[in-house]
Each structure stands twice: as structure tokens, then as C-alpha cells.
Amino acid sequence: MSGTRTETRTETHCPYCSLQCGMRLAGRRAPEVSAWEEFPVNRGALCRKGWAAAGLYGGRERLTSPLVRDRGTGEWSAVSWDDALDRVAAGIRAAQAAGGPDAVAVFGGGGLTNEKAYALGKLARVALGTSQIDYNGRWCMSSAASAAIRAFGLDRGLPFPLADVEETDVLVLVGSNLAETMPPAARHLDRLRERGGTVVVVDPRRTPTADRADLHLQPVPGTDLALALGVLHLLVAAGAVDASYLAERTTGWEEVRDSVASWWPERVERVTGVDAHEVRALAALMSGRKVMVLTARGAEQHSTGSDTVLAWINVALALGMVGRPGAGYGCLTGQGNGQGGREHGQKADQLPGYRRIDDPAARAHVAGVWGVDPDTLPGPGRSAYELLDALGTPDGPSALLVMGSNIVVSAPRATHVTARLEALDLLVVCDVVMSETAALADVVLPVTQWAEETGTMTNLEGRVVLRQRAITPPAGVRSDLEVVAGLAERLGSQASFPTDPEEVFAELGRASAGGPADYSSITYDRIRDEQGVFWGGKRLFADSFAHPDGRARMHAVEHRGAAEQPCADYPVHLTTGRVLAQYQSGAQTRRVRSLPDDGPFVELHPFLAARLGVATGEAVRIATRRGEMTARASVVPTIRPDTVFVPFHWVGANRLTNDALDPASRMPEFKVCAARLSPVEEVAQRPSRDPAA
């Protein structure tokens, strides 16, 4: 932490969540993390994962040679890069010869840099000619994205800097546990409260974030939409809506107003399990004050997720808050590049610049940058889950290239998805370690990781930041951009695929020019000089929205509830989420020795624990209609008694989750399904066997 030598310190950003905290790295081989106090998003603060980021290096598990797996014996052998890429190209050609261009699919990730996301989309559309590309961000922010586009005509997670949180009067966090998922962001809550502001948290669990709230509502998972309707009902009744704002800046208010007339607090109580007086307390807090509503995965990862977000957007619009300083609506994105990852063409229905792939003008523009005929670009393909569900089926792809995603751990209904991966003729995975998904592959390509490579990320505020190369990658690995270029070349692509990130970024800028997310004026130098550059400007919607008429569109939405409701066989709600010391599928963090890894657990209320006769530390089996797992019990009074929680960083949780999809965003219902618990008697007693394993 204190160095006597002056050495070069590289300014860069944390390898994990969407906050993209600034940090400095020193050292050439194993980097040492130190604070970058001046970077405005985190002002030097880091969480445990960030401080331990250097632990990603030096592990024996790092892959440094391409590997191919013999399907007969299951044995891996190291091969040269040329050999590996030749095999992949041959497999792709064979698949497409038999099944046409869409026989090959691409699956990306929300952790990839903008440059990689862009290159991957271009690879799919130009070199592979396939429509079958999507990414794991579909399982992350897509409901909020879909809702924001419908409401505002534009989706940027937060349309204002995160620090604006401190300027509001009432901050309503719906389904966010930012104190554990992006800890430095929680400092804003404290400063807001020091200023006299009020924090409200809506979450079925009393999380460390809820511990900092003035009001915590604990709804049944999957009922945040009904809560929003109930709040708006009371705001209408109290005359708290901003009639002139609604008249001047929105359309659709009348129908929305009518739709909430039947959501009185006692009805909301029956649906959400939140006491009516708490619903009234929330509405009273929001009346006549500056209000900011932020949603996160808890509200969004539902089969009604996009409607849920629309319902909360309606609340913010009705109060006249969207576009006002220190107020409005925002989505707290999750993955490191959750925002940029969805803007540059790895989404099934989009081209770079957040353009629609079915828009002829967008196709012409992007095809022009790529030097190809617009008619050769494929149309929209399947969404992430639908894509995986189709793998190896007669109509689906028979080959898949995966970059930046550990599908086996992170997909819903994971047992089924794993079977689909196993049904492929060719699975190619680019990764830094032998992840659970890589272990199923025919070819694994070892790639560079954070700090070994340069690239931009777009954080939750729409701030484009630069992760700079700080250390030398191990011999034998290549960057994802080099993999893309190597494949494109072997497939005879006419378009060029540069491998220098800054060059790719400049091309991305041209491709995005004029689109909703226009990066054309952003350069690496500007990012360095300005501590990140916001695309579209620092604050959006002050004067108008991105629809042609400049108005926000309000949509009347109805509560439908979770796709799967508890029943006699599966009597409790299961919800999933994150813990502080781990990240996503754990492929990175579980290999960092200084981060605690106690394995998965089932969090349950003492009432439920007493019903089952289990105590903290004892093993419980949890089952849903799709699968089961065993983990140790964690008995806490902070969760709803009718709900259990399992973190999703370990294999197992997503065997349980439901693959019901949101009709608009195609988001799977990760956040709620019906489950059954049963005690596991003897296993827990035996010290020789770890019940969590």
C-alpha cells in the first residue's frame, strides 16, 4: 500500500461490476492495486473484489495454450493456435454447408469491452453471415432496456451521473442490493441521508442496502409491479402528480391513470404481502418531493420485468421527475460492460450504435462502414435463452462460439441448457480458465484478460471509460480481437478486422455515428483527459425525450404475477442473487484465493427453518420442477418467511431457476420460482463430507 519507489502506475478500472471503479495498477507481472482517488465514480473506494483483483494472476489454472477435446475419450490436448483456429474454421464451414449460415451461433457477454462486443457482432454478421448472435446481457438489463426504449425512446442505464443520487430528496431502490453488489456506490446513500434525504429499499430480503434505508418494503418476489401501481394510485388520489409536466412532456397518461384506479392499498397488500400502511407511507414520502427511482435485477429479472420497469417509470413520469436535476428514473446495470455490451451489435436485434437491425437506414449505414452490401446483413436472430434452447435441434444451430460467458452456471434451467450445449457438433469457448462451460467445449481458446489488454467499458452511468493494459500477458494467449480476426481471415471475409483496440474503437465510433448511442466523438485521449466520457451528454431528457415527438410515452401495464406460483408440492418462493465477495458465475472470483469462498447456501427465515427442523450450517435440499441442489442453511430473520434465497455464483442455483421469458425483453424469470425444501439428515453430521459441495 505504500511504496518507497516511484514506479509507473497505470490508471484503469476494476475487472468486475458496472460501477467500473477507477484504480491504479503497478507492477509488470503481478499487478498491485492502489487507489485512484481522483476518479469521480468511486473516489478511491473499492470493495473486496477490487482490492483482490490482482489475485486473478499467477494461478496455475490459467490457460496458456489452445486445447482440443477428443469426444471419444474426453481427453484434452494442447494444439497450436493455427491448428486450433483451422479446426474451428473447418467446423464452421462444415456446419454452414449442412445447415446454412444460421447453423453457426455466437454467444457474447456483458463483460466484454466495447471493442470486443463490436468485433463479435461484426464477425457474426459479416464473416459468418449468421443472425444467431446474442449475449448474457439479455439476462441482465434487457427488461430495463426494453422499458426505457419504449418509454423514453432511448436506453442509457442511468441518464445522469451516479453522484446525482445525493441531490434527490427520496431515493427509491427497487430490487437493488448495491451495498453488496457495487459497494462503493452505497456511500452515496449515506451522503444523501446526511443531507436529510430519505432512502427507500424494496426487496424481499433485508439486505445491507435495506439496513441503510429509512423505509424498507418486503414484497413477495414478482410483485414489484403491483406495488408501483398501488403507489401511483395513492399519488393520483393525493393530487401529487404533475399535471403540466404530463400534459407537456408525455403521452398516454389518461390510460395509465385509469389503470391504477383499481389498485387501492389493501388490494396491493393482498397481492404483494406489503402491509397497506407501508404502501401509504411510501406514497406519502414521494408526494411533493424530488424523487429518484432506480431499478435493478430484483425488479427486472422476471417474466413481467419490462412491464415492472414501465410501472416504476410511470411513477417517475407522473411526478414530473424525469429530466429534472437530481431526480428521475434509472437502471443500475450489473455486468462490467452491461451498458456498452448492449450497444454495439452483439444483441440479436441490434447493430452498432444501438441501432435496430431491421431498420433499413441503420443497415445501410453500418454496411457502408463495413464495406459490404446491406442486403448481405442477416436480420434479427433468437434471443439468448431461445438461442441456447435451439442448439442442436433440427432447426437450431449446430455450432456455437462463446466469448465472455459461462453459460453452464449462468443460464436459467441450467440442466436443460447444458444438455443443449452437449448436443452441438462444435462448441468453441474463449476463456482465461477452464470454466464449467469451457469444460464442455471441443476447442478452448485461451485469451487475454483485464489488465493484459486495453479496451473501453461503458459504466452504469453511460460513462465510457478506458481499461489500459498494465501488465504483459502470459506467453501463448491471444486477445479476443485476435481470435475474431483469425477466424474472419480463415473464413475468407472481405471486411477487415483490426486487432488494435484503439483502431477498433475508432471504427466502432464511425459505425455508431448518428445512432442512439453515438460514440463517434469519443476518443481514447478524451477518455483519459476527461476521466471518462458520457455518450449522449452528461444528463439526458432535460428538454425532450428521444421519441420523434419529443415526449415520453406512458404505457398502462397490468400485474400478472410470476409465471410459477407456489403450490402444495413447491410451497415457497425461491429468489436468487449475489454475495459481496463473488462475481457472476465465479469463474474469476472463485479462483482468487484471498476472496472467501464458502460455497452456496440457502437463506431462510426462522419460521421456515423451524418447519423443516434445520439450523444454520445444516444441509438442506432445495428442489424445483427443473432440478435440485443441496447446500447449507443460513437461517436469518431478514428474509420473508415464505421466500428462500440462493446465491447464483455456484453451479446449482440455475438448475432451479425458471426459463419463462418476458414477452418484450426475452428476459428469463431468474428472480422467482416455486421451490420445495427438505432437510438432509446425515450428510451434515459427517465431517468427512462437505455438505456444501
Partner 1 sequence: MTEAPERVVVVGGGMAAVRLCEHLAADDRFAVTVLADEAVPPYNRILLSAVLEGTHPTDALTLRSAGWYARHGIDLRLGARVLEIDRDAREVVLVDGERVAFDRLVLACGSIPTLPPIRGLVRRDGTLDPRVHPFRSLGDCRRLDAAASGSPVTSRAVVVGGGLLGLQVARALAVRGLPTEVVEGADHLLARQVGPAAGGVLARDLRRLGTEVYTGARAVRLTPDGLQLDNGYVLPSDLVVLTAGGRPSTALARRAGLMVRRGVVVDHTLTSVTDDRVHAIGDCAEHRRRTTGFVPPAWEQAGVLARALRGEEASYDGSRSVARLRATGLDVAVLGDPERAEGEVVEVTNPISGSHRRLVVRGGRIVAAALVGDLSRVGLITQLYDRGTLLGPDEPGRLLLPESGAGPAPLPDEAEVCACAGVTAGQVRSCASVGECVDRTRATTGCGGCADVVRRLVEDSPTPVAVG
CB-CB contact of 294 with 309 (8 Å): no
Binding partner 1 by CB under 8 A: which of 179, 443, 491, 602? 179
Who contacts 425 (Cβ-Cβ below 8 Å, separation ≥6)? 91, 94, 95, 392, 398, 399
Least distance from partner 1 to the Cβ atom of residue 273, Å: 4
Q: Is residue 264 a contact residue for partner 1 (CB under 8 A)?
A: yes
CB-CB contact of 357 with 377 (8 Å): yes
Q: Is residue 334 a contact residue for partner 1 (CB under 8 A)?
A: no
Least distance from partner 1 to the Cβ atom of residue 36, Å: 13
Residue 466 phi/psi, 5° resolution? -115, 120
Gap between the Cα atoms of 331 and 112, Å rounded: 20
- HSE of 577, CA atoms in CB hemisphere, 13 A: 28
Q: Is residue 581 a contact residue for partner 1 (CB under 8 A)?
A: yes
Stretch that binds partner 1, among 23-31, 88-96, 380-388, 637-645 (CB under 8 A): 637-645
Gap between the Cα atoms of 481 and 456, Å rounded: 13
Gap between the Cα atoms of 542 and 539, Å rounded: 7
Pairing assessment for the beta strands 32-35 and 22-26 based on DSSP bridges: antiparallel
**Listed residue (104, 103, 133) closest to 120, CA to CA:** 133
Residue with cell 454478421: 125
Q: Is residue 184 a contact residue for partner 1 (CB under 8 A)?
A: yes
Stretch that binds partner 1, among 443-451, 488-496, 510-518, 639-647 (CB under 8 A): 639-647
Which residues ranging from 126 to 145 are in contact with partner 1 (CB under 8 A)? none
Least distance from partner 1 to the Cβ atom of residue 16, Å: 13
Stretch that binds partner 1, among 58-66, 71-79, 358-366, 634-642 (CB under 8 A): 634-642
Interface map 213-252 toward partner 1 (x if CB under 8 A): -------x------------x--xxxx-------------
Q: Cite the beta strand spans of 483-540 per DSSP E.
A: 533-534
Q: Is residue 678 a contact residue for partner 1 (CB under 8 A)?
A: no
Burial class for 281, CB neighbours closer than 10 Å (0-12, 13-18, 19+) = middle
Binding partner 1 by CB under 8 A: which of 640, 655, 666, 671? 640
C-alpha cell recorded at residue 219: 414484497
Size of the site for partner 1 (CB under 8 A): 57
Residue 628 phi/psi, 5° resolution? -150, 160
Stretch that binds partner 1, among 270-278, 293-301, 516-524, 615-623 (CB under 8 A): 270-278
Binding partner 1 by CB under 8 A: which of 32, 78, 93, 180? 180
Gap between the Cα atoms of 265 and 273, Å rounded: 11
Q: Which is nearer to partner 1, 14 or 151 (by Cβ)?
A: 14
Stretch that binds partner 1, among 39-47, 392-400, 452-460, 521-529 (CB under 8 A): 39-47
Who contacts 607 (Cβ-Cβ below 8 Å, separation ≥6)? 641
**Listed residue (599, 629, 635, 630) closest to 614, CA to CA:** 635
Interface map 48-87 toward partner 1 (x if CB under 8 A): x--x------------------------------------
Q: Which is nearer to partner 1, 236 or 282 (by Cβ)?
A: 236
CA 133 from chain centre, in angstroms, equals: 17
Q: Is residue 641 a contact residue for partner 1 (CB under 8 A)?
A: yes
DSSP 159: S
User: Side by side, which strands form the sheet with 215-217?
Assistant: 215-217, 198-202, 170-174, 291-295, 328-331
Which residues ranging from 355 to 384 are in contact with partner 1 (CB under 8 A)? none
Interface map 185-214 toward partner 1 (x if CB under 8 A): xxx--x-----------------x--xx--
Binding partner 1 by CB under 8 A: which of 183, 330, 340, 446? 183
Q: Name the site residues for partner 1 (rule: CB under 8 A).
A: 1, 44-48, 51, 179-180, 183-187, 190, 208, 211-212, 220, 233, 236-239, 254-255, 258, 261-262, 264-267, 269-270, 272-277, 565-566, 568, 571, 580-581, 594-596, 607, 610-611, 637, 640-642
